[in-house]
Amino acid sequence: MAFEGLTERLQNTMRKLRGKGKISENDLRETMREIRLALLEADVNFKVVKDFVKKVSDRASGSDVMEGLNPAQQIVKIVDEELTEMMGEQDVPLNKSERIPTIIMMVGLQGAGKTTTAGKLANRLKTDNNARPLMIAADVYRPAAVDQLVQVGEQIGVPVFERGTDIDPVEIVREGLAQAKADHNDYVLIDTAGRLQIDEQLMDELANIKELANPDEILLTVDAMTGQNAVATAEGFNDKLDVTGIVLTKLDGDTRGGAALSIRAVTGKPIKFVGEGEKMTDLDVFHPDRMASRILG
């Protein structure tokens, strides 16, 4: 379960304030110290923690708040609102093109869950939006990747365009898009190659695919379990490709939550979806406010 440790620590901190008619400066200082440590332990980026603590303590020491009837509740509310703000405040929906097809390019490191997420998203579009997506297998470096996408496609009943692994991925995308046009698919999901870490050659290839496909959405999948590495990866991809959204995968296995809490503030890019399991239905829209409430428990 995500955020286990953080939820417990924040609850303990807030419990100490409960029942106090007034919160002294000392209480507030101690509370902020505990919140700061709890966030750092959850692997939240230190700059993000610093900004967060400043905002919360500025608001909490405002006189209107201190004169409130129940100061502990006020602080919980401020923390809730600022956590929401830190994760993006509003839901940001998937971009949609005015003319079909809407083109979604999936990028991310190997193992982050790109292929699985492409399938989950295609499945979601098909089931919820009655869409007719096509997936393009453009990961030619890992032979198993093409087979994996084909299998996912069969499982969810979504066609996959593939040309094996012997031709240039840009050419595969060109042909795949032509097929989508001919078949009137309303969404195209391009599964691209990943590496174990960011390298120049991969980034150039992805930039070439981006230039050709002119995607409406470049969705970066990052593995939430890798914490601050996920944030660094997101910065790397974003610098090169100017991504439009982030999918945080494996949140089901992430007990700390640092990536979910920092990635928006560090990259400025919204988390659009979260993956919370291996099944094709385990993809949820990301709601910053609900996530904040979940963290506070």
The binding site for GTP consists of 108-115, 191-195, 249-252
Q: Which single residue brings its beta carbon nearest to ligand GDP? A: 275
Which residues make up the interface to ligand GDP (CB under 6 A)? 108, 110-116, 194, 249-250, 252-253, 275-278, 282
Shortest CB 184 distance to ligand GDP, Å: 27
Q: Residue 88 or residue 194: which is nearer to ligand GDP going by CB?
A: 194
Which DSSP state fits 95?
P
Here the tokens at position 149 are 């996408």
Q: In the bound complex, what is the minimum distance in angstroms from residue 226's beta carbon to ligand GDP? A: 12
Rounded to the nearest whole angstrom, what is the least distance from the CB of residue 283 to ligand GDP in the complex?
8
CB 120 → ligand GDP: shortest distance, Å?
Answer: 8
Strand ranges for the chain from DSSP E: 102-107, 133-138, 160-161, 187-192, 217-223, 245-249, 271-275, 283-285
Task: List the end-to-end C-alpha distance of the chain, in Å, as a whole number.
Answer: 12
Residue number, 134 or 137, with CB nearest to ligand GDP: 137
CB 109 within 8 A of CB 132: no
Return the structure tokens found at 211. Answer: 């230039």
Of residues 82 and 276, the one with the C-beta less far from ligand GDP: 276
Nearest to 97 by CA among 186, 193, 192, 174: 186
Which residue, 39 or 107, has its beta carbon nearer to ligand GDP? 107
Strands 133-138 and 102-107: unpaired
